[in-house]
């Protein structure tokens, strides 16, 4: 473990797909005791709960968020608590309340306590009118409620930065692929579930069409990008600071199944699209991450085949 950095870090929604790995990385960087993992629920034996401080925290409870930040002397908040697209579209009211209400609660606490904040955005900020290779400054007209909450999160972050001087940063994560925690109710979950099926029954029924192509990223790259943007000097960040496009790689569902079949003999996949196809169809195929590259040096390390091998190795251990 590295020397403690003096930062006191709060992670909301820490038991989810990203939090499970981000808390581990932050504790390696700042020291176990300096990183408070929090979530609305707990999971017995989860490393975020057992290996360092953990708090039950509902991000829609503004007073509790502020109290925890003040009492614990928090200096930096990684705000991961949210409902993802598939869950969010089933319950739009709750999605708005958690994703927008929770972000406002975190930003208010950050303003009061002088914290820096990381708030993730998503490729879901784009709608069908964005170019299929989406530039940083493409129009943001999402057709999902989830996407609307992400556009609002970026705008709120900019408002707190320009009007109140709160140092808010964010990334438009692509669909994230990882094996340490289950995917949390998103449209891109098929790219995670397929690996669990590959090492289990060797068959996967995919809920999007074979030709569905989306921007994706392996979790190691996503965690690295998160730490990089938070470490970047404030002077290098421009007006995209709360929602940088970051490129990973893109593949169709069929290309993913083929990459797995190359490694797993007898693996097969069939396709029965459901409502999540509509959300996937409204998002771009790929994103242009050149502004993230220019302003803070972003460059992905994983491609489809490196990710496939890492996922299969991770799930087989």
Taking the C-alpha atoms of residue 196 and residue 189, their distance in angstroms, rounded to an integer, is 11
77 binds, among ligand SER, ligand NAD, none (CB under 5 to 8 A by kind): none
34 binds, among ligand SER, ligand NAD, none (CB under 5 to 8 A by kind): none
Q: Is 146 a catalytic residue?
A: yes
Interface residue with ligand SER, options 12, 20, 122, 149 (CB under 6 A): 122
Q: Which stretch binds ligand SER (CB under 6 A): 91-99, 105-113, 181-189, 203-211?
A: 181-189
- How many residues does this entry show for the chain? 317
Structure-token pair, residue 192 = 């995670």
Taking the C-alpha atoms of residue 196 and residue 205, their distance in angstroms, rounded to an integer, is 12
C-beta closer to ligand NAD: residue 58 or 159: 58
**Residue among 78, 146, 160, 204 flagged as catalytic:** 146
* Contact between residue 98 and residue 83 where contact means Cβ atoms under 8 Å apart: yes
* Contact between residue 7 and residue 30 where contact means Cβ atoms under 8 Å apart: yes
Q: Build a one-symbol-per-residue string for 173-212: x at contacts with ligand NAD by CB under 6 A, - elsewhere.
A: x-xx-------xxx-x------------------------
* Contact between residue 97 and residue 209 where contact means Cβ atoms under 8 Å apart: no
In whole angstroms, the minimum distance from the beta carbon of 232 to ligand NAD comes to 19
81 binds, among ligand NAD, ligand SER, none (CB under 5 to 8 A by kind): ligand NAD
* Contact between residue 181 and residue 43 where contact means Cβ atoms under 8 Å apart: no
Q: Build a one-symbol-per-residue string for 108-147: x at contacts with ligand NAD by CB under 6 A, - elsewhere.
A: ------------x-x-------------------------
* Contact between residue 17 and residue 32 where contact means Cβ atoms under 8 Å apart: no
**Torsion angles phi and psi, residue 3, rounded to 5:** -65, 145
């Amino acid at each position: 473990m590295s020397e403690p950095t003096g930062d006191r870090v709060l992670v909301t929604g820490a038991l989810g797909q990203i939090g499970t790995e981000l808390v581990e990385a932050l504790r390696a960087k700042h020291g176990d005791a300096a990183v408070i993992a929090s979530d609305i629920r707990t999971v017995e034996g989860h490393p975020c709960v057992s290996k360092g401080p953990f708090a039950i925290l509902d991000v829609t409870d503004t007073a509790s968020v502020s109290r925890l930040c003040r009492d614990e002397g928090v200096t930096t908040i990684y705000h991961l608590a949210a409902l993802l697209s598939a869950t969010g579209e089933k319950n739009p009211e709750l999605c708005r309340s958690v994703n927008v209400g929770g972000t406002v609660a975190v930003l208010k606490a950050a303003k009061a306590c002088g914290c820096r904040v990381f708030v993730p955005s998503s490729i879901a900020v784009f709608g069908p009118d964005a170019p299929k290779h989406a530039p940083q400054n493409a129009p943001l007209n999402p057709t999902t409620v989830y996407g609307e909450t992400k556009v609002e999160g970026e705008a709120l972050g900019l408002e707190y930065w320009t009007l109140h001087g709160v140092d808010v940063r964010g990334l438009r994560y692509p669909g994230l692929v990882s094996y340490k925690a289950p995917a949390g109710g998103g449209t891109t979950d098929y790219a995670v579930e397929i690996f669990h099926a590959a090492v289990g029954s060797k068959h996967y029924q995919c809920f999007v069409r074979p030709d569905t192509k989306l921007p994706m990223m392996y979790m190691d790259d996503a965690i690295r990008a998160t730490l990089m943007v938070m470490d970047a000097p404030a002077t290098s960040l421009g007006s995209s600071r709360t929602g940088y496009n970051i490129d990973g790689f893109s593949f169709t569902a069929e290309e993913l199944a083929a990459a797995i079949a190359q490694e797993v003999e007898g693996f097969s996949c069939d396709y029965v699209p459901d409502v999540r196809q509509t959300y996937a169809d409204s998002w771009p195929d790929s994103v242009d991450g050149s502004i993230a590259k220019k302003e803070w040096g972003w460059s992905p390390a994983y491609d489809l085949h490196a990710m496939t091998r890492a996922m299969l190795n991770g799930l087989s251990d």
